[in-house]
């Protein structure tokens, strides 16, 4: 069983590898019981978003951590992957701006995701 950091790291690596834009990692364990990390990124199109979701699911499933739930896959505007301690949000740009999760979770600690790429 992977730690929440290891799950977040694998998700970030999969998203970065498939060219997700504006990846944001928020350490949320001190502000909510929902998850230890929220990962937010932007897809350039709904097709790109589906690729990001599928590759993230694949990487984590191969590591023994399949998602508990996937929401919004059909519409593609905002797809949520719930890995229990890590929640991945894949947005189209307009939808990300509209919902502003970074503003909603401003009390969470921002993590430099580039450190997770090594």
CA contacts within 13 A on the Cβ side of 45:
3
pLDDT score at 67: 96
Q: Can you give the pTM of this predicted structure?
A: 0.95
Give, in order, the Cα–Cα distances in Å from 109 to each of 25, 69, 80, 83, 85.
8, 25, 20, 19, 15
pLDDT score at 87: 97
pLDDT score at 46: 92
pLDDT digits (tens, 9 = 90+) for 39-94: 999 999 999 999 999 999 999 999 999 999 999 988 889 999 999 999 999 999 99
CA 1 to centroid of chain Cα atoms: 19
Mean pLDDT of 17-37: 96
37-43/69-71 β-pairing: unpaired
pLDDT beyond 90 at 19: yes
> Which residues does residue 89 pair with via DSSP β-bridges, in sequence order?
40, 80
pLDDT score at 118: 81
pLDDT score at 101: 94
Average pLDDT, the chain: 96
Surface-to-core class of residue 70, CB atoms within 10 Å of its CB (0-12 exposed, 13-18 middle, 19+ buried): middle
């Amino acid at each position: 069983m992977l730690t929440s950091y290891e799950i977040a790291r694998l998700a970030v690596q999969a998203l970065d590898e498939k060219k997700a834009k504006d990846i944001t990692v928020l350490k949320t364990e001190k502000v909510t019981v929902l998850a230890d990390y929220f990962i937010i990124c932007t897809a350039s199109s709904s097709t790109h978003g589906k690729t990001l979701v599928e590759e993230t699911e694949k990487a984590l499933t191969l590591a023994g951590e399949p998602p508990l739930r996937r929401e919004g896959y059909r519409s593609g505007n905002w797809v949520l992957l719930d890995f229990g301690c890590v929640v991945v949000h894949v947005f189209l740009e307009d939808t990300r701006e509209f919902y502003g999760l970074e503003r909603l979770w401003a009390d969470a600690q921002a993590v430099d995701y580039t450190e997770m790429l090594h």
